[in-house]
Amino acid sequence: MKKVIIFNIFVVSSLFLVLELSLRFFFKINPQGISEGIISTEISKVRFNNENVVEGKIFGERVFTDKNGFRITEKKSGESNNNQDIYFVGGSVTFGSGIKQSKTFSGILDNRFKNLNIHNSSVMGSNLKNNYSILKTKVKKEKLKKVLINFSFDDIENIQIVNIKKDNTNSLKKTSLVEKLKNIKFFKNINHFMRSKSVIYVWIKGTLFNSGKHYYQNALNSFESNENLNQMKLVLDRIHKMNQDLENKISFIVIPYHEQIQDSNCSFQDGGEKIIINELKKRNFDIINFKPVFCNDKDRKDLFLKLDPSHLSEIGHRKVADYLETKLIK
């Protein structure tokens, strides 16, 4: 009996190992963890990458940073020169979760334009308020050519910068059992551990629970909060003032969620997209909206990482780089 149990454990473990390796190497599904030591944990500071990172992974891909905390390729020195600077500011999409820096759109453009310093000055988990803080603390004016901020669809969630009376727009919405469990610390820790270690877990979660649609709906709901909208406008006003001081060198790029480029969603603007575009236009920002670009792309099903609601694949990053090269850089 003991031998039968051991044999069964061996068979099940082997099957799990084969499935795990197959999902990683043949289906290109990434774990979704962030190694400790990459992002600064000092609450008093702007959320940003630690300087001179040489160890650690994000979504299964090794990460390196320079003396400024900017993401770089392994071989790039980060030494200063007299070239003009272009800064890409944003969160995980701009950072390039699960992608080598050389394959991100900032890395591709940096390789194509040797006469420019193109910086990936993004950090996982950033939002609009934090992006403004990055502008103030990381962007140098002396040789500045351009700043491009990616306004991600979830950038107005929890961007608290002032005390505003709380809005109860969402208070009457029913919270599902799954959502309640996710807010319990014990289950949060389990979810974080499994996402970072097992792509089987990522695959099951993404397949059974349609995580892409779930994340999209959560982001869309954030635009129903007056508190979020008021704070977004305050931050945009501050960035607008900075843009005037910098002689209009700040532009916004808007990269959609995977759900936003499905056939049924390509033909109209959802409420969140309308708000983002309208608020940017009110402040006369240059805007590059990638939703119509992606919707008209024959490869749009391959533009995002597998079972990922928002992070671009290598193909997606290349498409963004190609478009920015023709519309902006040249």
Measured between alpha carbons, how far is 201 from 245 in angstroms, rounded to an integer?
A: 48
Helix, coil or strand: residue 84: strand
Q: Are 202 and 40 in contact (CB under 8 A)?
A: no
Query: What DSSP letter does each residue of 37-63 carry, written as one string?
Result: TSB---TTS-S-BPTT--S-EETTEE-
Amino acid letter, 48: F
Provide the pLDDT confidence category of residue 215 given band limits of 50, 70 and 90.
confident
Burial class of residue 267 in the structure, from the number of CB atoms within 10 Å of its CB (0-12 exposed, 13-18 middle, 19+ buried): exposed
Nearest to residue 291, comparing CAs of 315, 273, 305?
273
Sheet holding 144-150, edge to edge: 64-65, 71-72, 116-120, 84-89, 144-150, 250-254, 286-289
Q: Which residues contact 234 (CB under 8 A, 6 or more apart)?
A: 161, 162
Task: Please check the confidence at residue 300 and state whether its pLDDT lies above 80.
Answer: yes
Measured between alpha carbons, how far is 309 from 260 in angstroms, rounded to an integer?
A: 10
List, in sequence order, every residue forming a beta bridge with 86; answer none if it has no partner.
118, 146
pLDDT in tens, 111-163: 999 999 999 999 999 999 999 999 999 999 999 999 999 999 889 876 543 32
List, in sequence order, every residue forming a beta bridge with 49; answer none if it has no partner.
39
pLDDT at 176: 52
Q: Is the pTM of this model over 0.85?
A: no
> Mean pLDDT lowest for which of 38-42, 176-180, 267-271?
176-180
Task: Please check the confidence at residue 90 and state whether its pLDDT lies above 50.
Answer: yes
Cα–Cα distances in Å, from 99 out to 109, 136, 196, 305?
A: 15, 27, 15, 9
Task: Please check the confidence at residue 25 and state whether its pLDDT lies above 80.
Answer: no
Cα–Cα distances in Å, from 248 out to 61, 73, 144, 195, 210?
A: 35, 29, 11, 41, 41
Query: What DSSP letter does each residue of 165-192 carry, written as one string?
Result: PPP-TTTTSPPPHHHHHHTSHHHHHHHH
pLDDT at 217: 87
Measured between alpha carbons, how far is 316 from 324 in angstroms, rounded to an integer?
A: 12
- For the segment 91-100, the average pLDDT, to the nearest whole number, is 94
Percent of the chain with pLDDT over 90: 53
pLDDT at 29: 59
Provide the pLDDT confidence category of residue 171 given band limits of 50, 70 and 90.
very low
Give the tokens for residue 200.
Answer: 């089987």
Q: Are 218 and 146 in contact (CB under 8 A)?
A: no
Query: Average pLDDT of the chain?
Result: 81
Q: Are 100 and 317 in contact (CB under 8 A)?
A: no
Cα–Cα distances in Å, from 6 out to 2, 10, 256?
A: 6, 6, 49
